[in-house]
């Protein structure tokens, strides 16, 4: 699907099913690719390994198998060592929890910035100001700036002390499909759990504090806030991650007359006519969450990029009412977004 809509992508590698892959796997793949081996050779070698077969980590390649991303480098060939193992390796027992090595590593600068901002937001919106010399507005600005660079769930999966299957069944907020639920336990400074839901149609659909009591449904024509939104100070943002060459942009979630977040927002005047990823983020009462959906281009027919392409059915199925249309900013002319558009979260 991405190959069909983005000419900048020459190959796309994914797993057969939704799994949390160990960092060793991606490190080994990246090392082989940087030695100049072709993508097809690297994927084939990985799929033939015992680890890939035993842990359901086999890969699927879409695109050109002969593509290389680095010049080939020479390697010294060591003589084969005799087999010293007398018996086969014991079968791998897959448990519900996957330990992470990331906690023992040096945290990336962007990961640290997002984690620090998230921890500060959780503490300040909960009323705990001890040791913090920054304002909520500053922390929220940093948090949204990091979301413009990278999704929150990718940081959590990299830095979590463990990622386990959720004990509860999950349903996608956006399309209603059965979703895969995961729970990430985060190290200091967050020291809390986040719930991650992955939909086979909409990709990662929510990444929220485990106790979050509200949700956001995303379509091209309406952003709908549902559930019990906590009282007190809150911050909200709409982040549109565009495909190259368009730039990512963000805006503040609109307030109602009572100062509370609006329950329905029309995002169509913020969206480009090409595919994009839209994220809604909220911080309130010690809770933090992002809701995300990949949307097809405006006016796409159902099945234009494959049956059930995210957002395709929403063009006609979920149009906002006249009352909702009147409650939001007047719609701008339909054209591609440019770098001159406002950035309301700064």
pLDDT tens digits, residue range 125-157? 877 776 666 788 898 998 898 888 877 877 777
pLDDT value of position 56:
62
pTM: 0.59
For 155-185, write each residue's pLDDT tens digit: 777 777 788 888 888 889 899 999 988 888 8
pLDDT value of position 190:
66
Window from 37-46, 83-92, 330-339 with minimum mean pLDDT:
330-339
Question: Under a CB-based contact definition with an 8 Å cutoff, are residues 293 and 218 in contact?
Answer: yes
Give the number of other Cβ atoms within 10 Å of residue 163's Cβ. 19
Closest CA to 174 of 293, 271, 281: 293
Residue 214 has pLDDT above 90, yes or no: yes
Write the CA distances from 227 to 37, 181, 276, integer angstroms: 50, 19, 26
Average pLDDT, the chain: 72
Residue 313 has pLDDT above 50, yes or no: no
pLDDT value of position 21:
66
Residue 322 has pLDDT above 50, yes or no: no
Residue 204 has pLDDT above 60, yes or no: yes
Residue 341 has pLDDT above 70, yes or no: no
The two tokens of residue 280 are: 């809604």
Burial label, 156 (beta-carbon count in 10 A; 0-12, 13-18, 19+): buried
**Mean pLDDT of all residues in 316-327:** 35
**Mean pLDDT of all residues in 255-284:** 91
SS (H, E, C) the chain: CHHHHCCCCCEEEEECCCCCCCHHHHHHHHHHHHCCCCHHHHHHHHHCCHHHHHCCCCEEEEECCCCCCCCCCCCCCCCCCCCCCCCCCCCCCCCCEEECCHHHCCCCHHHHHHHHHHHHHHHHHHCCCCCCCCCHHHHHHHHHHHHHHCCHHHHHHHHCCEEEECCCCEECCCCCCEEEEEEEECCCCCCCEEEEEEECCCEEEEEEECCCCEEEEECCCCEEEEECCCCCCEEEEEEEEECCCCCCEEEECCECCCCCECCEECCCCCCCCCCEEEEEEEEECCEEEEEEEEECCCCCCCEECECCCCCCCHHHHCCCCHHHHHCCCCCCCCCCCCCCCCCCCC
**Cα(185)–Cα(117) distance, rounded to whole angstroms?**
17
pLDDT value of position 297:
62
Question: Under a CB-based contact definition with an 8 Å cutoff, are residues 223 and 216 in contact?
Answer: yes
Residue 310 has pLDDT above 80, yes or no: no
Pairing mode of beta strands 178-185, 170-171:
antiparallel
Closest CA to 281 of 163, 126, 118: 118
């Amino acid at each position: 699907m991405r190959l069909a809509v983005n000419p900048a992508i020459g190959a796309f590698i994914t797993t057969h099913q939704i799994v949390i892959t160990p960092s060793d796997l991606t490190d080994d793949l990246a090392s082989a690719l940087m030695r100049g081996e072709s993508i097809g050779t690297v994927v084939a070698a990985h799929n033939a390994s015992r680890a890939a077969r035993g842990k359901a980590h086999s890969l699927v390649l879409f695109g050109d198998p002969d593509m290389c991303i680095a010049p080939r480098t020479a390697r010294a060939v060591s003589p084969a060592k005799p087999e010293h193992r007398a018996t086969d390796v014991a079968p791998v027992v897959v448990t519900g929890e996957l330990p992470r090595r990331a906690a023992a590593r040096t945290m990336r600068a962007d990961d640290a910035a997002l984690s620090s901002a998230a921890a500060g937001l959780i503490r300040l919106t909960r009323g705990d100001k001890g040791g913090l010399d920054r304002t909520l507005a500053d922390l929220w600005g940093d948090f949204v700036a990091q979301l413009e660079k990278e999704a929150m769930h990718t940081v959590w999966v990299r830095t979590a002390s463990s990622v386990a299957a959720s004990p509860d069944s999950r349903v996608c907020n956006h399309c209603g499909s059965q979703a895969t639920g995961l729970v990430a336990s985060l190290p200091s400074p967050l020291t809390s759990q986040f719930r991650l839901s992955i939909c086979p149609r909409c990709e990662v659909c929510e990444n929220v504090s485990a106790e979050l009591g509200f949700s956001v449904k995303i379509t091209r024509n309406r952003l709908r806030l549902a559930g019990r939104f906590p009282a007190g100070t809150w911050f909200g943002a709409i982040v549109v991650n565009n495909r190259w060459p368009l730039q990512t942009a963000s805006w503040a979630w609109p307030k109602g007359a009572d100062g509370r977040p609006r329950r329905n927002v029309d995002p169509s005047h913020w969206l480009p006519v090409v595919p994009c990823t839209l994220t809604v983020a909220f911080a309130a009462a010690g809770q933090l969450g992002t809701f995300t959906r990949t949307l097809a281009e405006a006016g796409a027919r159902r099945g234009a990029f494959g049956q059930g392409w995210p957002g395709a059915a929403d063009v006609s199925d979920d149009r906002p009412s006249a009352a909702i249309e009147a409650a939001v900013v007047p719609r701008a002319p339909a054209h591609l977004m440019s770098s001159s558009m406002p950035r309301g979260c700064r």
